[in-house]
Structures are given as structure tokens and as C-alpha cells.
Amino acid sequence: MQATAFDTPPWWQRVLPMFRGFDGPLLAAVLLSAQATDKSVNIVTRRLFPLAPTPQAMVELGLENITEAIRTIGLFRNKAKNLLAMSQILIDQHGGEVPDDRAALEALPGVGRKTANVVLNVAFGHPTIAVDTHIFRVSNRTGLAPGKNVEEVEQKLLKVVPRDYRQNAHHWLILHGRYICKARTPECWRCPITDLCPYQPKTLPPPRKSALDRAPRPRHEEVPKHEPSGHGTTGHEVPAGPAHAGP
């Protein structure tokens, strides 16, 4: 199976909100996502990818234009340099394709172990588990794979997660950490494994509103800001002019 730098499997878009709603380069998108919000990644990729749909187009776009296209994302200057350098290396050393090899991936500018794991898993079907902040938190909090660093957590996850589930395991864990096992206040009251998780104290569901709180508030009668003057033929209010007039 081959994957170019700008191939994104359709199901990947449905799994991670970061890639929902647009077609774009998987490797470049993951590189841009470092220390950035999903919203900011969506914004810049919608601007950048139509301008540079291939590594060759990215090189031709040039550093200045790449920088301008991703200016609103964190660390945009370094990311622009990495995108340009990465695209050139893909052209020179890999025929414009993403290599199906961890060492070759991690040799690319801006690509670390997590990014390599995502690409190997999604583009090439390797049973890798990319550990991000959500997975690191869930693994430690639940006791599934406790570790002091991401690589230690990754190795433990590879041991405890059955091989048949490794292809999608990091997607499930990310979503669990994003929407239920949240960083500040985990929602234990709706967690499907709350009886197995050692985390204490368990959080309780938010208090339900009383009937009085839910009762609709009465609408106050609207009073017109200006009464009709009675002059003229329409009775309509005349819009005010500018607050300050001058030459």
C-alpha cells in the first residue's frame, strides 16, 4: 500500500474531529497539529491544502506563502520551515511519497515518534499506538498502561491491547479522553468502565434543574425606543446620523 504525503483515508476524517470536513495531507496535517487546537488546524489546512496539494506544489509555494497561509496557528514559523523542508526531502529521497518506514519518517523535519505512529497506523495499516496527551492521561488515570513518559505508556499499551484491536485503539482512547475522561474534571458518572477504574474520587452527575428553574421566564412587554413624532407621512423613525461629523 502506498500513500502520498497528501492522502487522507476517508474513515480517518470521521474518527478524529481534527480532520473532519476537509480532504488534506495526513502527514502535513499531523505535523501542523503539534501544540495546536483542532479548530486552528482546521482553519489553516483549509487555506493551505488547496494551494499546495502535493509536495512539489508545497515547494513551489515557497516559505513566505506557506508562512502566510498558516500564520494563525501556534509555532507557525517553525512549522512552515518544516513543511517546506519535509516536502523537498520527500521529492528528493522518496519520489514524493510518504515512506512506510519509521526511521525514514522520523528523519523528516518536524516528525517525531507520535506523528510517525499516526502515519504508519492510518496510511499503512500498522498496529501502532500513537500516544498523545489524551492517551497518556487515560492510560495513567485508569491504570491501563501507567508510565512516566509517552514511550513507556506506548510500550505497555502494545502489551495489554490485543493485536486485533491495535489498529483502532488509539482512536478510541483519544475520543474517550477528549469527551469523557477529561483533564480537569473527568465525567466518571457516564464512563462505561467506571467500575473498573481506580480513579478517586468519582465525579457525580451535575445536579438536575428543578421545575422552577426550567419554567420559562415571562416576556416583558417591549417598549419602543422612540415614539412617532406625528410629523411627516410615514411615522417611521429617522436613523441617527454619524456621532461625529467633520471634514
Active site residues: 114, 132
DSSP symbol at 101: -
Contact 186, 194 (CB under 8 A): no
Within 10 A of 182 (CB to CB), how many other CB atoms are there? 14
Matching residue, cell 502520498: 4
CA distance 134 to 179: 10
Distance between CA atoms of residues 45 and 22, nearest Å: 8
* Cα–Cα distance measured from residue 34 to residue 42, given in angstroms and rounded to the nearest whole number: 13
- Write out the three cell numbers for 224: 419602543
Check the CA dihedral 19-25-30-35 and report its sign: negative
Distance CA 36, CA 74 (A): 6
